[in-house]
Amino acid sequence: MQKDFKKIKDIPKTQYLPVLPSGKKLGRRLYLKEVLNWLSKSFYISKPIISLTGGIVNNGFTDGDIDIVFLSPKREPQAEFRIYRAFPEEIRNRIHILYPHENNDLSLFTSNMPLYDLKFERRSGDEVFRLFKEINREEPPPLLFDSQDREDKEIHKQAALPEVKKSIDLKKISKDWLNKASYEDLKKLPKGFFSLSDHWRGKSMHGDLRIKQNEYLIGMTLLYQVEGVTKEPVTTLEQAEKLQWEQPRKFYPDMPTNAKIMAEEKATQPLIWLGMVKRVIPKGEVGATKDWPGVFNLYDFGMSYQGTKKPYFDEVWLDGQKFKKKRLVMRVLQVGEEWKEKPAE
């Protein structure tokens, strides 16, 4: 039997029983990321679900039963079992479990002491993201950066502009943060600190925008390289620095108001990646490819402020050395052929 069980576990995913769509279209296409965002909070079913009642609560002691009431519309045998097993064996015969729907008389339960709530606890974000990456599903369309959104003016009005200025003016960041190499040093940077680096792999380049939270980073991959301008592979910081000044890009501080680029949301990352700004990563390691090293060259850094945030709309303010008090709007839009990402060289 054990052998058969192991054989079943080893069946590749390609041989799993397929889950086919119903064929009915009920509205716009929904993506897994959207649904996960809507189901991102924990919630209560009953608060409380189990209470202590009777003489033990009224008097502080009892010579008789220990009355425990379950505020549930049905019996909960698993929970009853756990309650019984919480007591010493010689006490278990004195446990008296009550259900209002069976006794039909709430007056029986005089003074009571709430003990347990019934809560649906959301799984950790890291675990949900890991499972999300394992599912072979169509990815949602990439987010687009837009410096001014004409379709969501009402949403824009919700941003507290005075608070933005207050937030970014109070945080003065020293340029010597580039010398911070250890995890402990990076932890000392304030929440909202951001770095934006050009990330090269051969002739392919994108931007890594990383924003510090409490103990982790969030961010975006910005696809701002102009197609066809890079003629030689980039393998050193000197090359990356030179091209940062010489080559045009689609994302820069004085870009036109309605200019757009494609962007992709990053997974949460450990803080150590915030210091990945003047580094060359050997071929074959994380951040590189099997053929080319990864070259990270800092483009900007400073403080960020979170504005309006919705499943389809994300507003961020940057106050850096180059992007001074600049507002970025990220929207989920239907992507046309002109936005299709070109394969890396």
Please spell the DSSP secondary structure of 7-48, one letter per residue: HHHT--GGGSPP----S---SS---HHHHHHHT-S-EEEEEE
Residue with tokens 């200025």: 165
Residue 66 pLDDT grade (very low, low, confident, very high; cuts 50, 70, 90) = very high
What are the start-end ranges of the H helices in 98-246? 100-103, 125-134, 153-156, 161-170, 183-187, 237-246
pTM: 0.49
pLDDT of residue 88: 92
How many other C-beta atoms are found inside a 10 Å radius of the C-beta of residue 230? 18
Alpha-carbon gap, residue 262 to 334, rounded angstroms: 11
Residue 14 has pLDDT above 70, yes or no: no
Alpha-carbon gap, residue 280 to 313, rounded angstroms: 34
pLDDT tens, 91-110?
Answer: 999 999 988 766 544 445 56
pLDDT tens, 309-329?
Answer: 877 788 888 888 888 888 888
C-alpha distances (whole Å) from 191 to each of 165, 173, 195 are 16, 12, 12
Alpha-carbon gap, residue 284 to 301, rounded angstroms: 28
Pick 251 or 337 by higher pLDDT: 251
pLDDT tens, 143-202?
Answer: 333 333 333 333 333 333 333 333 333 344 444 555 544 455 677 788 888 989 999 999
Domain parsing of the chain, residue ranges: 43-120, 141-334
Residue with tokens 């079913």: 45
